[in-house]
Chain A
Amino acid sequence: MSHTLKTALGVIALIALAAVGYFGLADNLAFMTQVVIMMIFVLSLDYVLGYAGISTLGHAAMFGTGAYAAAIFATSVSSDPILGILAGAVAGGAIALLSGFVLMRAHGLTLLMLSIAVTEVLHELANKYSGITGGADGLSFTPGPILGRFEFDFAGHIAYIYSVCLLLLVFIKLRVLTASPFGLAARGIRESQARMRAIGTPVYWRMLLIYTFGGAFAGVAGALSAQTTALVSLSVYDFQLSAGAVLMLILGGTGQLWGAILGTMVYMTVHQIASSVDPFNWLFIIGAMVLIVVYLVPNGLMALPALLLRWRRK
């Protein structure tokens, strides 16, 4: 099957999934919108971590910056949501580029810690400059109608459809990016940096570029989250957000986009159900789920079908 065909089928599958959610779970639109936003965020992480092997626990830095950019853009320039998303993408990419100059020189634990440090610095600055960011109280704004027509509504129909559209765009863009020669180079870098260097690939600059693109997508997710909430607070820079995204990605399986989508869906659904059944002790369920997956299918849920097939053959 050609790559384009696969992408087209993927898009159709995503639309079908979104439609099932929309008509089948109409009372849960707000929750599903959260899932879709998180999918975009985890996809952006998959591009950075899964494809290029850049391990990070600070992806919230780009999410948060995108969110603040969208909010500030809406209050000071234009309340048009689409322009706001672009502002978020630019801001997310910019912060990734800036921090990437240092981060892309490191790897392993050092890289993890540096990415955390960048997020913490941004968190502290956002708290400090509360005149711009609203500080601990948060920054409220009113996003305008999408394309000048569709107002965000109370029940969340517009927010859901809007988020799904952005998810599709990001998915297509990432499919194209990962299949391009540029994307193949990313895989090469993950597998062996030394070999890529030997064949003349400027590894550092490639990684910086990948990190910047990934940051821009994370910025889109942040901006979208800001718009659907109509408020941004310091929590967009939470360590838990970065760590949660990594969990969802590994849970689903890295480096294949669908792993990001599946992992996010499973994790957030289990969390949602467990926490409404027992808001106090749901962490038991999440912890157990994570352990079961890692011991039974260490490569993530995407590897489950192959694993089951192998068992059957035995």
Chain B
Amino acid sequence: MSTLFSIVIDGVAYGMVLFTISVGLSVTMGLMRIVNLAHGGFALLGGAFTHWAMTGLGLPFLAAAPLAIAMVMLLSLPMERLLYRPIYKMGELQQVLATIGITFLIIASVNWWLGSTLQSIQLPAFMSGAVNLGLRTLPTQRVYVIIAGLLVICGLYILIERTRFGIKLRAAVDFPGTAACLGIDTSKIFLITFALGAGLAALGGILGAEILPIEAYYPLRYMVLFLTVVAVGGMGSITGSFLAALGLGILDTATRYLLPDFGTVFFYFAMILVLGIRPNGLLGKSLS
């Protein structure tokens, strides 16, 4: 019983970390329909800027993190205009090539700037340590990740389903021609959405740094992990990503408790099973 309790607690906590670091990808890849392998690059930049703001500028975490996110979003604007805009209309393979190229440049830049060692992010006292849940303890940091994850999903739901911007975005993605005819500035919509995705990536990079530590090769090291969440959740579905992240988190945690020796094998078998049965992911729309 206590093991089951532990699996759920740790699984949900881990799942929420997975969600916060892949929701940004769900936005760019799912909503904007571009294969964005550079997602981890923006997460890395978020973490690296935070590290720099804390150690270089001496800012406290609560000031450094928002500053870093703002910097990443600001940086993403010219990148969208210069690097991403030309590839929206290209094929999947060209998008893979281009976004890998962008990833390489981000990695090389961070490596050149900060070196290849870990860029740690020192959490404030109230976020570190453990909280007592009665039966067992949970790292305090995870509590904040869970809260942040819930805020993100609520915020995105409201933004996409309940605001004019959301309506415009969905129109711009699904019927770009019609949307443009109706006077919707699709290029601006895409620009804002892209910056949103980059900002979420940065947020995830910062919040997830406890278990996915920030270092120059972060984008390549965890690329498969981010893609897994989005693929299992289903392209274009934020809720799907959320469910997938929780499901994968719980599954991965369960294998660690019960079958540590074959953990990875089971994780990928589960993925093969889910995608074998539901080729479009849990909540994905059929593309054909």
Contact = CB atoms under 8 A, between A and B. Distances in A.
Are A and B physically bound partners? yes
Interface of A: 49, 55, 102, 105-110, 112-114, 116-118, 120-121, 124-125, 128, 239-240, 243, 246-247, 250-251, 254, 280-281, 283-284, 286-291, 293-295, 298
Contact of B102 (A49, A113, A239, A291): A291
B199 interface: no
B157 interface: no
A102 B278 CA distance: 12
B278 to A, nearest CB: 9
Given A239-B224, A287-B104, A247 B281 contact: no
Nearest to B265: A124
Contacts of A254: 93
Contact of A281 (B102, B111, B279): B111
A81 B288 CA distance: 46
Contact of B272 (A118, A239, A246, A251): A118
A254 to B, nearest CB: 7
Given A243-B100, A287-B104, A287-B108, A298 B94 contact: yes
A247 B97 contact: yes
Interface stretch (B4-12, B68-76, B228-236): B228-236
Interface of B: 29, 35, 83, 86-87, 90-94, 96-98, 100-105, 107-109, 111-112, 220, 223-224, 227-228, 230-232, 235, 261-262, 264-265, 268-269, 271-272, 275-276, 279-281, 287
Given A108-B287, A109-B29, 12 more contacts: A106-B276, A110-B279, A113-B271, A116-B224, A117-B275, A121-B272, A124-B265, A128-B265, A243-B100, A288-B101, A290-B101, A294-B101
Contact of A294 (B94, B103, B105, B264): B94
Given A116-B224, A117-B272, A121-B268, A287 B105 contact: yes
11 contacts: A109-B231, A109-B235, A110-B280, A117-B268, A120-B264, A128-B261, A240-B220, A284-B105, A284-B108, A294-B90, A298-B90
Given A102-B272, A113-B227, A117-B268, A291 B105 contact: yes
